[in-house]
């Protein structure tokens, strides 16, 4: 079985009598609930601290590149006070949410809202830096024939191929399959092939077109495959050879970039509607984390979140830096739906050749589980499924899953182990996809 890394660390700490420290600006709901109930010691860090004086000295050198004299003098004064008091406390960045439906009604068909365009112009003119976040690689998320509607898919996986301008390729992000872009539809022969959706490469092209003076750099899995490339990209940006960083989840955490005063989230809706009960939590965490890249110096910061559904709880809560508000709403949802932390889950995933063979294996295990639960009279246990996985085929392996919901799913499963070949058991899965 596969267990959550957090729980493995806690068990290791218990066995070795060691302290386990978990730190996050956006704790997962399960961990925060345990802290509330006294199972963990909860410590708050309410203030955003710049850094120790050594780091302030580094920032002073970097901030010399700021073109606005008045702003530069203001931050020099702040940093001087920091040297006297060992640290500088920083406010959280201002967050603006833009309704993309209103942008369309106003005739704006650009990737960038009018507010984000104006903010980027101002930021770049000051000699400061921008991060643009989009949780999707490539140029277009799918390739389609406009005559018959056929979407180009991976021959080994039931997923759409993503178009990448570099090499003019269609790529499967699950198995790595690559194919040259087609000129004719394989179904109807039409040459009306079009690219739809949005990826980091397309955002990079739009930046170059709309802001000719910008020096964009794209930081995603496709552009950082080689050893040491992460450090090269970061050094390139830190030293001012680029002023717009376009990236996926890689740019959301851990980056401390003093000249980044603007963060733009191109589409906050990308992962919000995935069929996974943690979709809202992940969206909230990502938005909060990427927003935290802005304003990490006395220059201050601003975040612009673009969304077609700006009234959704994860987006509203992130825009208000309101972890507690999000937590309470998410907890109520999970209590009603019997999701963690109120019940635990075990995801039983079968992968094998042949659609019917995989479906039958899943049906048999679900039947065995229900029979075992009934015979033993185990209360408050649910067997959900079997159902095809969200991605039904990867590398020609058909995927079906069964979900077990109980207070202790591992103890329910233990008498049935070992499971037949092809099964994978994930206790407390981080995703159901």
* CATH number of the structural domain 344-427: 3.30.70.600
pLDDT digits (tens, 9 = 90+) for 243-296: 999 988 888 877 888 889 999 999 898 888 888 899 999 999 999 999 999 988
d(CA 415, CA 260) in angstroms, rounded, equals 55
Maximal C-alpha separation, the chain:
78
Q: Which helix (H) or strand (E) holds 299?
A: none
The predicted pLDDT at position 71 comes to 72
Domain boundaries, the chain: 5-46, 92-137+203-334, 142-196, 344-427
In terms of Cα–Cα distance, which of 29, 47, 146 is closest to 92?
47
Backbone angles phi, psi at 52, to 5 degrees: -70, 165
Task: Tell whether the model's pLDDT for residue 324 goes beyond 90.
Answer: yes
Strands 244-247 and 129-133 turn out to be parallel
Q: Which helix (H) or strand (E) holds 40?
A: none
d(CA 382, CA 403) in angstroms, rounded, equals 8
Detail the DSSP E strand segments found in 224-329: 244-247, 260-265, 302-307
Averaged pLDDT score across all residues of the chain: 87
| Confidence grade of residue 138 (pLDDT, cut at 50, 70, 90) | very low
Q: Among the CATH numbers 4.10.1240.10, 3.30.2130.30, 1.20.210.10, 3.40.50.300, which is that of 92-137+203-334?
A: 3.40.50.300
d(CA 58, CA 36) in angstroms, rounded, equals 39
pLDDT digits (tens, 9 = 90+) for 169-182: 888 878 888 999 88
Q: Which residues have C-beta within 8 Å of that of residue 227, sequence separation ≥ 6?
A: none
Alpha carbons within 13 A on the beta-carbon side of 46: 1
Instruction: Note whether 92-137+203-334 and 344-427 share their fold.
Output: no
Output the CA–CA distances (angstroms, integers) from residue 179 to 149, 184, 264, 391, in the order listed.
19, 13, 32, 20
Whether the ω angle into residue 386 lies within 30 degrees of 0, i.e. cis, is yes
pLDDT digits (tens, 9 = 90+) for 251-263: 887 788 888 999 9
Task: Tell whether the model's pLDDT for residue 89 goes beyond 90.
Answer: no
The mean per-residue pLDDT over the stretch 61-84 comes to: 66
């Amino acid at each position: 079985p596969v267990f959550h890394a957090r729980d493995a660390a806690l068990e290791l700490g218990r066995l070795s009598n060691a302290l386990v420290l978990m730190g996050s600006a956006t704790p997962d709901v399960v961990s925060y609930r345990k802290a509330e109930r006294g199972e963990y010691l909860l410590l708050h860090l309410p203030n955003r601290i710049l850094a120790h004086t050594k780091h302030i000295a580094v920032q002073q050198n970097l901030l010399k590149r700021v073109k606005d004299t008045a702003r530069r003098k203001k931050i020099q004064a702040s940093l001087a006070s920091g040297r006297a008091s060992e640290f500088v406390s920083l406010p959280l960045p201002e967050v603006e949410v833009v309704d993309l439906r209103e942008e369309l009604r106003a005739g704006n068909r650009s990737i960038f809202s009018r507010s984000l365009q104006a903010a980027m112009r101002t930021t770049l003119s000051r000699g400061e830096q921008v991060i643009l976040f989009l949780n999707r690689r490539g140029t277009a998320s799918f390739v389609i024939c406009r005559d018959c509607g056929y979407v180009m898919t991976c021959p080994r996986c039931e997923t759409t191929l993503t178009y990448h301008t570099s090499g003019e390729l269609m790529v499967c992000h699950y198995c790595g399959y690559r194919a040259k872009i087609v000129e004719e539809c394989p179904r109807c022969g039409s040459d009306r092939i079009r690219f739809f959706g949005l990826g980091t490469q397309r955002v990079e092209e739009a930046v170059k077109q709309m802001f000719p003076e910008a020096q964009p750099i794209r930081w995603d899995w496709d552009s950082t495959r080689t050893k040491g490339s992460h450090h090269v990209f970061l050094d390139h940006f830190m030293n001012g050879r680029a002023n717009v960083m376009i990236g996926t989840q890689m740019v959301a955490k851990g980056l401390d970039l003093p000249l980044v005063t603007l963060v733009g989230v191109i589409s906050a809706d990308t992962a919000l509607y995935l069929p996974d009960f943690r979709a809202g939590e992940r969206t909230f965490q990502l938005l909060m984390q990427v927003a935290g890249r802005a304003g990490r110096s006395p220059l201050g910061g601003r975040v612009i979140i673009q969304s077609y559904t700006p009234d959704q709880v994860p987006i509203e809560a992130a825009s208000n830096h309101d972890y507690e508000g999000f937590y309470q709403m998410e907890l109520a949802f999970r209590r009603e739906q019997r999701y963690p932390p109120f019940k635990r889950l075990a995801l039983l995933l079968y992968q094998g050749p042949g659609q019917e063979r995989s479906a039958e294996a899943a049906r048999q295990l679900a039947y065995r589980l229900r029979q075992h639960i009934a015979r033993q009279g185990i209360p408050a246990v649910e067997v959900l499924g079997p159902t095809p996985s969200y991605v039904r085929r990867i590398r020609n392996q058909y995927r079906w899953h069964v979900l077990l919901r109980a207070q202790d799913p591992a103890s329910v499963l233990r008498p049935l182990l070992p499971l037949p070949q092809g099964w994978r058991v994930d206790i407390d899965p981080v995703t159901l996809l």
